[in-house]
Amino acid sequence: MRIALWGATGTIGQRILREALDRGHAVRAVVRDPARVTIQHPKLEVVQGDALDPQSVAQAVRGCEVVVSALGPSRGEPPETLLTLNQRLVEGVRAAGVRRLIAVGGAGSLEVAPGQRLLDTPDFPPGWKAIAEAAAETLAWYRREANDLEWTVMSPAAFIQPGSRTGRYRTGTDQLVTDERGESRISAEDFAVALVDEVEQGRFIRRRFTVAY
């Protein structure tokens, strides 16, 4: 499959890139600075692009079958930039005639009880709240405004960090997935496994889903 990947140099994006290439997919990594992509692979194409410029997006993703976004606000940018990034990205994807888009979202809007989001719980870290609210607003925008596309928003577990690739995970939709100890965790490597599985299988079209152990 031909995949256009935005955010390929980030913690999650790097692992998505490696997972997709290891499975034999052709990946076009779209980045601001191509020199930051140090992987060399016969099925990897690295191009420069600006996710805030719909014309640049359209040019970068044209001819691909699915666009994957692991983008987030750059250092120093306000959290609200996340929504703008996704809006401009969608505009460019539409212009390029690509139908499928998978965007990495946040865990904060997942429910821990009926009507109660994770980000509204007392123990939710205050420093994460603004970006969690921006991710929740972005998901709501997809649900309202992007149903002409086959979009998917993928939320991680409450805690995601680099670790091991086990190939094991469980899925949910709008509820936080926890283990027998009540913990919600996933490695960045297994998050990438689940995302590339979704690229291949398309189980959550026009839906949000989440993964955890």
The total domain count for the chain is 1
Sign of CA dihedral 200, 2, 19, 92: negative
Q: What is the pLDDT, as a whole number, of residue 79?
A: 84
Residue 78 has pLDDT above 90, yes or no: no
pLDDT in tens, 110-146: 999 999 999 999 999 999 999 999 999 999 999 999 9
**What is the number of alpha carbons within 13 Å of residue 113 lying toward its C-beta?**
3
Mean pLDDT score of the chain, rounded to an integer? Answer: 96
Which positions ≥6 away from 94 have C-beta within 8 Å? Answer: 148, 149
What does the chain come to in residues? Answer: 213
Strand ranges, E, within 7-79 = 26-31, 44-48, 66-69
170 contacts 211 by C-beta, under 8 angstroms: yes
Given the DSSP bridges, would you call strands 207-212 and 159-161 parallel, antiparallel or unpaired?
Answer: unpaired
pLDDT in tens, 4-56: 999 999 999 999 999 999 999 999 999 999 999 999 999 999 999 999 999 99
Predicted TM-score (pTM) of this structure = 0.95
C-alpha 125: how far from its chain's center? Answer: 21
DSSP H or E stretch at residue 116? strand 116-117
Which of 145, 137, 120 shows the shortest CA–CA distance to 73?
A: 137
Give the domain extent around 172.
2-212
CATH of the domain at 23: 3.40.50.720
